[in-house]
Amino acid sequence: MTDRLRILLIAFYYPPTGGGGVERTLQFSRRLPELGIDVEMLVPTDAKWLAEDPASVSRIPATVAVHRVRYRGPSLKQLPADRIRNAPTTARKLAVRAALAPQRLFLPDANAPWLADVVPAALKLLETGRFDAFVTTTPPHTVAVAGRLIRSRTEVPWIADWRDPWLTHADLDLSRPDVRAKQAAIARLARWCVGGMDAASVVDHAEEEVRSLRPELPLAVIPNGIDLEELAAIERRPDPGHCTFTFTGWFFGDRSPRHLLQAVADLVRDRPELRAVIRLRFIGGFPEADRRRVADLGIGELVAIESPAPHAAAMQAQADADVALIFMQDGGGQGEKFLPGKVWELLACGRPVLAMLPVAGAAARELQAVDAAIIGPDDVAGARAAVEAYVEQWRSGALPVPVLADDVCTRISRQTQAEALAGLIHTTVGR
């Protein structure tokens, strides 16, 4: 007789797919077995996602069985807006736009075609009788729809993990009638999905949304976090000749570094001696419009734009930074509620943080734990002052080294989060 449980964890983003959305799922699969819950993964053979990290496959424990099922949906190795923008002629832009148009019809998102393959694959695995529960993690929210369809055909309990809000995301342009119409349809779909869940785990900023959909649903709030042990093992290798401001990640929606670029251009115009000191380093996706802006502002030699990096290299770059950067738009007020996963990385990276995001929002409140410089998303003057202050501290060897309080470390630790999910799984199976 054993007290061990076994779950099937269904995810769309998992190594070798890269990006921040992978980490929560990967860490759960790594840590749950140590807590008495064996894990088997069900993931796409190729998510066709814009970030890839082949080396990350080595981080999957040998004890975790990974079942891969075909994904027939559209490729997002390049974002639709970038595909249109990069088309060489107006006629070609129109052709690309027309080719992409059908994707807008998919509900809940462009990954919906995966349902045809993942649902039968999951049912086949669950029919073996070896699983005590199955867990889905979203986004994409197609996976939540898969969970509802699977649960309607099996007695195995379903726990849904929501890494991001579904209905109140800051990247939505709700000024557009077509976006509002699609969101209305998605809201009905979300309520249907939540109605089939046996329990759910949500990040902080999704709790209100899920409770509004089904108040009585057993719910565990499990925030995003960071592998503190991994960060502690990184040896910092800064550039001694420059004060380097570093951002790793992607600029989704209308997020952009344009106001920071303008601030730096204004600063070096008035203080040309700082041209030899300041460096802005962007690793990951970078908006094409901002590439042109760098040239137009005459700061090309100050800005390094690098391709997406594997997870380990991105973490190294953040450690090497003199100042870490984060950006978040207002999003019609939704940006105040949003907590990008990047927040937790920056809390624990041991570097000063310049955050251009809603000053009264949830991300700003979290980043106060490391005395981050919180600047409004479009505050050019504020960004200039913050950059100048950090540069002067760097020149005098007095840049602060943030230290997280023990209670914050505990709260954002991946181990703490895995323990919370293990508790929810045990409780749900026990019911």
Note the pLDDT tens digit of each residue in 253-301. Answer: 778 999 999 999 999 999 999 999 999 999 988 988 899 999 999 999 9
Q: How far apart are CA 294 and CA 287, in angstroms?
A: 11
CB neighbourhood size of 359 (10 A):
16
* C-beta pairs of 361-365 under 8 Å, 24+ apart in sequence: 361/328, 361/335, 361/336, 361/337, 362/204, 362/205, 362/336, 362/337, 362/338, 363/326, 363/328, 363/338, 363/339
Length of the chain: 431
Q: How far apart are CA 196 and CA 180, in angstroms?
A: 25
Predicted local confidence at residue 322, as pLDDT: 98
Predicted local confidence at residue 2, as pLDDT: 56
Domains observed in the chain: 5-225+413-430 (3.40.50.2000), 229-395 (3.40.50.2000)
Predicted local confidence at residue 1, as pLDDT: 36
CB neighbourhood size of 90 (10 A):
8
Residues of the chain with pLDDT below 50 are: 1
CB neighbourhood size of 212 (10 A):
12
Predicted local confidence at residue 234, as pLDDT: 93
Please state the pTM of the whole predicted model.
Answer: 0.87
Task: Say which residues have a Cβ less than 8 Å from residue 133's Cβ, sequence separation at least 6.
Answer: 5, 7, 8, 156, 157, 158, 159, 198, 425, 428, 429
The Cα-based distances of 128 to 70, 132, 156, 167, 247 in angstroms read 21, 11, 11, 35, 46
